[in-house]
Amino acid sequence: MCNVPYYGENTVAEHTFALILALSRNVHKAYVRTMQGNFSLQGLQGFDLKNKILGVIGAGSIGTHVMKIARGFGMKVIAFDANPNHIVKELLDVKFVSLEELLSTSDIISLHCPYNESTHYLINMNNINHVKKGALFINTARSGIIEPSALYYAIDNGIFGGAGLDVFEGEELIHEENQMLTKNVSLEHLEALMKRNILLRRENVIITPHMAFDSAEAVERILDTTAQNIHSFILKEKYFKVI
């Protein structure tokens, strides 16, 4: 068994900043408005990223790329990780802090940690009120890292000033919605779909269909590495090449 672990660090990081920029400058609102022939600036004023604090949860490969981009924008970067990377800390001038401090001081919070038992509902109803009021929330990792009720609560009560979500509760049901009448669907899944549809109607929420990884270059890297892994297996090589 082998995998393709390093194919889209910069790809996901770039999508993360696409969401951040869209929210910080109201690009999504402006697009809809101008498509309707309305060129009013009312309600579209955004804010600079320079000197804002970006809180990165998960300082692995993707998180590190996000930090690099943030430094290019002149942002201050703090991070939370179970295993702080001291090389990243020195090279990118990143301060590693507790989760509570990150939530309470970040202007933008971005999730980049893996989803596992220790990160399940890492952000939840017990700590959501620690978030700096009005912070932007970005999730290009996994939906299970934030408790759904905490996400909806934060958006409804202005704790999150906006949210960019490439992953969300119930996303696996998107392709099944047309089959709802012929399939047994749990009340839990129906509730997830209803809440997602409510989020879609919020002007300060951008949802993309789990596409952060999907660039032409990243897909090519996946295919190339997979082909090389198959070739290595056939030749019974002792290691599998990863990019």
- Residues in contact with 137: Cβ distance below 8 Å, sequence separation at least 6, in sequence order: 108, 109, 131, 146, 151, 154, 160, 162, 163, 164
Distance CA 231, CA 243 (A): 15
The residue with tokens 């929210």 is 23
Q: Do 66 and 91 contact (CB within 8 A), yes or no?
A: no
The residue with tokens 């970040």 is 106
- Residues in contact with 124: Cβ distance below 8 Å, sequence separation at least 6, in sequence order: 146, 147, 150
Residues recognised as catalytic? 142, 177
Residue ranges in 36-182 assigned as alpha helix (H): 61-72, 86-92, 99-105, 148-156
Q: Kindly report the CA angle at 18 between 120 and 166, in degrees rounded to 5? A: 30
> Which 8-state DSSP code applies to residue 113?
S
Write the CA distances from 232 to 1, 42, 188, 241, integer angstroms: 12, 59, 44, 8
> Which 8-state DSSP code applies to residue 123?
B
Instruction: Mark residue 124 as left, alpha or beta (left: phi above 0; alpha: psi -120 to 50; beta: remaining).
Output: beta
